Structure 1
Amino acid sequence: MTPSGTGRLDLDKLFAARLHAARVRPYLATALFALHPVASRRVPTMAVDSYWRCYVSPAFVARTPVEELAGVWVHEVSHLLRDHHGRGDRVARERCLTGPGERLRMNIAADCEINDDIYGDGLARPDGAVDPGLLGLPEGELMEDYLRQFRLGPYTQGLVWLDCGSGADGLEREWDLGPDGAHGLSAQERDAVRFRVAHGITGRPGDAPKGWQRWAEQAFHPPQPWRQLLGAAVRSAASSSGAGQDYTYGRPSRRSASLPGIVLPSLRRRPPRVSVVVDTSGSVSDAELGSALLEVAAISRAVGGRRDLVTVLSCDAAAQVVHPLCRAEGIPLVGGGGTDLREGFAAALRARPRPDVVVALTDGQTPWPASPPPCRTVVGLFPRQPRGSWADEDDHRPEPPPSWAQVVVIG
């Protein structure tokens, strides 16, 4: 399927198809109308970039019925909502997948994740749409799962035309307008669109297929493997020798039975105290700070819901005020300058009583304390790509987190 002809883009037909898509999939309407169409004769059909631009072939629009165009609208916006560009980049780094062939395989796998349950019920299936059955694969799996189950071969020769753009696999295309081009959405705007769509799906879950319900649930409660590590660290701090022990008469000791007339106190363990140091330097985005607050709420649950045992400290080049955890979204995160988490660690350890666990949420562009703190330490690390001279000049490369800290990449 390749574009032919040099006609102008029929926006009336394209927008009529989008309106039809929004009518039959109302929970996707916010995302559909957030896409900005850009005419391009270099794309085979329609393609998206990570900034929510939709590149459209005028010839493809001219020859495709409105009902099928509606299905393509839904298909392309699904790539963006499900973060296939970010996930594709992560998979490429983790599995060392390079070259256009591997990116085509990612696009096919992403299409299989989308196309197994979005058509029907008023949405026509576009000609040439790829689904798991075409490759003999099971339905209901994710892009990462499908990637492990097939390779390019004779049965995929008919799919070489497929190109849903950088928004489907993370690899920039020649037609992309890039971050500085017109009509792109900011990171905050993209997050807002996803949130609204997820809220609409969870509000009326019976109207959406199971794949979209699963996505919406993860959008509100994204899987964070590092929370499990944090929970293990907290439990370890609580159960370590001599940590958190106190006596109480509220529950008499069992030994009192052997001493008539004498009431002995019992020994109880108190839940651990957790101090969270949040990097609020200028290199940490608003979206990441929002994610940090969600992690703070998770920390509260990890210590049994005792919010009075969790304190939050924002830190850039200087430590700010220590806040007790009341509501995660009510914690002011102050900063925006350079980064020196040594100040945050020092302020956290000055607190009385001293914390049993210190958790640092940071992008790692900071100097670290020269010696390990006298408590367990966990570092939640926002990932960063090497910038400028980092790859060539060790003097400009940020110090990695110290070996005495448990490090988990967030995201």
Structure 2
Amino acid sequence: MSAATAVALDLDKLFAARLHAARARPYLATALFALHVVESRAVPTMAVDRHWRCYVSPGFVDRMPVEDLAAVWVHEVSHLLRDHHGRSDRLARDRGMTGAGDRLRMNLAADCEINDDAFGDGLVVPKGAVFPRHLLLSGGLLMEEYAGEIRLGPMTRYLAWLDCGSGADGVAREWELGPDGAHGLSEQERDAVRFRVARGITGRPGDAPRGWRRWAEEVVHPPQPWRELLGAAVRSAASAAGVGEDYVYGRPARRSASLPGVVLPSLRRTPPRVTVVVDTSGSVSDAELGSALLEIAAISRAVGGRRDLVSVLSCDAAANVVGPLCRAEDIPLLGGGGTDLRSGFARALAARPRPDVVVALTDGQTPWPAVRPACRTVIGLFPRGGTSDSWREDDPDHAPEHPPAWARVVDIGPRGPGV
């Protein structure tokens, strides 16, 4: 097509489609209007770069209905909100995806993550949209999972034109303006847009599809490397001044030389003793009890592998027998009733020799000791979401107390790196 007959970009139509998209997905409005439009005849359809610019083909806008363009707006901004460019960078680095076809594979994987629940409820399915079923894949997965399953070949040959820009796969294009170009968002501005969208989704639960709710929860409450945090908390408590220290006469203090005839004891650090109190009440699931066993094994490693110095007791409304750690899988976790960890703390502190560190693994549905224990305390909290934060077995109107300020609190999630 010559310059004289080239189709001009119909901004009115394009912006009408964006308004339609914002009405169909109001929780995405902030992100949709944060995009800056750049006309580009090098783009086959619409694409985004990692700096939140939206590149638009005038011919594509001319031949597509407003309803289809609205769906494409939602699709493109979804790449940016879900950080597909950053995730693609990490994926390429971790899996060595640097070949010529890897850009297409990651773009397809990102599209599958978005499209399997993006349309409907006011948004039509745009022509050419790629779904997991088109690639003989299951729905509901993440981009990283799809990228490991997609195989390029005859089935994907007709999709070679697909190009959503560096916002989808992290690879800069020649037609993009780059980091120094005009109208790009700074990293802080991008994060602010994501957080505002996420708060809009979590503030009205049930209005957004499952994939968006999952994304929003991770933005508002990012997952913690909880095993690393728990291990660090235990090691910090175990190495604090006064923990595992005692005066012994087996090695006289060096200051004895200045006092003839007087033998002064030396201060010696011994491995700390740790007691783990496991909440076994009815509100703690079997999966969480299994997670507690894994944490007990990790705690023993955190204190140097001395299992003889780690004791475990289970506690619901009453504390059970304190037992030394032999193997984590052999620990009897007894209970199933109400929750009152005060008895567990009292039993742990009454043991002789007294522990240097007490670790409580619980869902937090418990009253706490009124007085700070005479040792370091770490609390590992199993996650509780939604209305379950105000639930207790014997009183549905009960609002649990927050963990005390004198304890180091670590939220225990579903997975994380080893201690």
**What TM-score does the superposition give when structure 1 sets the normalisation length?**
0.61
1:269 counterpart residue number: 356
Change (3 A) 1:190 1:254: closer
- Secondary structure of the structure 2 residue equivalent to 1:100: coil
* 1:68-126: CA deviation from partner (whole Å, max 9, x where unpaired): 00000000000000000000000000111113310110000000000000101110111
- Report the residue type matching 2:105 in the other structure: R
Letter in 2 for 1:40: S
**Hey, what does 2:63 align to over in structure 1?**
63
Q: Give the match for residue 230 of structure 2.
A: 231
Alignment of 1:294-333 (within 5 A): 307-308=405-406
| 1:49-128 alignment, distance < 5 Å | 49-128=49-128
State the secondary structure of the residue aligned to 1:207.
Answer: coil
- 1:186 paired with 2:166, answer no
Answer yes or no: is the 8 Å Cα contact 2:113–2:142 preserved in 1. Answer: yes
Deviation at 1:266, TM superposition (A): 7.1
| Partner Cα separation in structure 1 for residue 109 and residue 88 of structure 2 | 10
After TM superposition, give the deviation of residue 306 of structure 1 in Å. Answer: 5.6
Instruction: Specify the code of the residue in structure 1 equivalent to 2:93.
Output: R
Residues in 2 aligned to 1:149 and 1:169: alpha-carbon distance in whole angstroms:
16
Count of matched residue positions in the alignment of Structure 1 and Structure 2: 271
Amino acid at match of 2:356: R
Decide whether the 8 Å contact of 1:251 with 1:266 is kept in 2.
no
How far apart are 1:267 and its partner, in Å? 2.2
**SS at structure 1 position matched to 2:23:** helix
Amino acid at match of 2:229: L
Structure 1: give runs of 5+ residues left out of the alignment. 256-264, 273-298, 311-324, 326-405
Q: Distance in 2 between matches of 1:74 and 1:10?
A: 19
Which whole-Å CA distance do the structure 1 matches of 2:236 and 2:154 have between them?
Answer: 56
Q: 1:19 to 1:301 in 2, by over 3 A?
A: farther
Instruction: Report the residue type matching 2:136 in the other structure.
Output: G
Runs of 4+ in 1 over 6 A off after TM superposition: 243-246, 252-255
CA shift in 2, pair 1:139/1:6, >3 Å:
same
**Alignment check: 8 A CA contact 1:46 1:57 kept:** yes
* Local SS of the residue matching 1:154: coil
C-alpha separation in 2, matches of 1:309 and 1:229: 17
Q: C-alpha separation between the residues in 1 aligned to 2:218 and 2:145?
A: 17
Conserved in 2, the CA contact under 8 Å of 1:234 and 1:302?
A: no
Q: Counterpart of 2:174?
A: 174
Residues 394-409 of structure 1 aligned to structure 2 (within 5 Å): none
Helix, strand or coil: the match of 1:155? coil
Counterpart amino acid of 1:267?
A: R
Contact residue 38 and residue 54 of structure 2 kept, 8 A: yes
Distance in 1 (CA, whole Å) between partners of 2:133 and 2:126 is 16
C-alpha distance in 1, partners of 2:214/2:177? Answer: 32
Amino acid corresponding to residue 198 of structure 2 in structure 1 = A
Aligned counterparts, 1:323-362, within 5 A? none
Q: 1:212 to 1:200 in 2, by over 3 A?
A: same
Partner secondary structure for residue 127 of structure 2: coil
User: Matched residues in 1 for 2:100 and 2:14: separation?
Assistant: 29
**What are the superposed Cα offsets for residues 125-155 of structure 1, whole Å, 9 maximum, x if unpaired?**
1101001010111111000000111210100
Aligned to 2:262: none
Report the aligned-residue RMSD. Answer: 3.0
SS at match of 2:354: strand
Shift of 1:191: 0.5
The answer on whether the counterparts of 2:358 and 2:378 sit within 8 Å (CA) in structure 1 is no
Residue pair 2:234, 2:378 contacting (<8 A) in 1 also: no
Q: Is the 8 A contact 1:238 1:244 kept in 2?
A: no
State percent identity of aligned pairs: 64
**What amino acid is the match of 1:142?**
L
Paired residue secondary structure (2:12): helix
